[in-house]
Amino acid sequence: MEKNDCGWVYHDKYSKKYHDERWCKVVHDDHELFAVMVMEMMSIGLSWALILKREEGMRRTLDNLSPEMIALYDEKREIELLSNPYIIKNKGKIHAMINNAKAFLKIQEEFTSFDRYIWSFTNNKVIDHQVKNMKEVPTISQLSKEVSKDLKRRGFTYLGPTIVYSFMQSIGIYNDHLITCSYR
């Protein structure tokens, strides 16, 4: 039996696997929540296909995207990363990643986990948009504006409402798979 997808899948091995196995799937692991946040932030101005292609190298190079390790990066490490071929070499994004790791750890301290914090915005409920056509999927929402504003208040950078919406899709807060998609 042939399976349906959402139509946006680039059908390269990275995008197809991401769509089928991870997109809009619920994530509660703090380590993975930070990793997804970094990848979403790194995607600003770039294609998601490129980010997925670089994901393995980013995880390997950036201490498996551990917020505890990245929060310890200093200016020397930032400079080293700018010449690393396995990551997105953007000074602002690298600096934001380090800054956001520190802010992420503060949220963990306050809420006992980032998971508890981020899912509190929906009372631990998935918002299923029951999408019939990908044109119905927004790129921003009132909720993503609210979360972005709160993240900024807590010291995060490079996480505007559009990136936050995409992050919320990636961790399953939003289920924006087509209702006909076999991977819902």
Q: Which residues contact 26 (CB under 8 A, 6 or more apart)?
A: 126, 171, 172
Measured in degrees and rounded to the nearest 5, phi and psi for residue 31 equal: -60, -45
Q: What is the pLDDT along the chain (184 residues), one digit of tens a residue?
A: 567 888 777 668 898 899 999 999 999 999 999 999 999 999 999 999 999 999 999 999 999 999 999 999 999 999 999 999 999 999 999 999 999 999 999 999 999 999 999 999 999 999 999 999 999 999 999 999 999 999 999 999 999 999 999 999 999 999 999 999 999 9
The model carries a pTM of 0.95
Write down the domain spans for the chain: 13-175
Question: Cα angle at 163 between 157 and 167, to 5 degrees?
Answer: 105
Q: Which of 10, 14, 23, 48 is catalytic?
A: 48
Q: Which of 18, 73, 117, 158 is catalytic?
A: 18
User: Quick check: is 18 catalytic?
Assistant: yes
Q: Which of 8, 32, 40, 73 is catalytic?
A: 40
User: Quick check: is 73 catalytic?
Assistant: no
Given the candidates 3.40.50.2300, 1.10.340.30, 3.40.50.300, 1.10.10.10, the CATH classification of the domain at 13-175 is 1.10.340.30
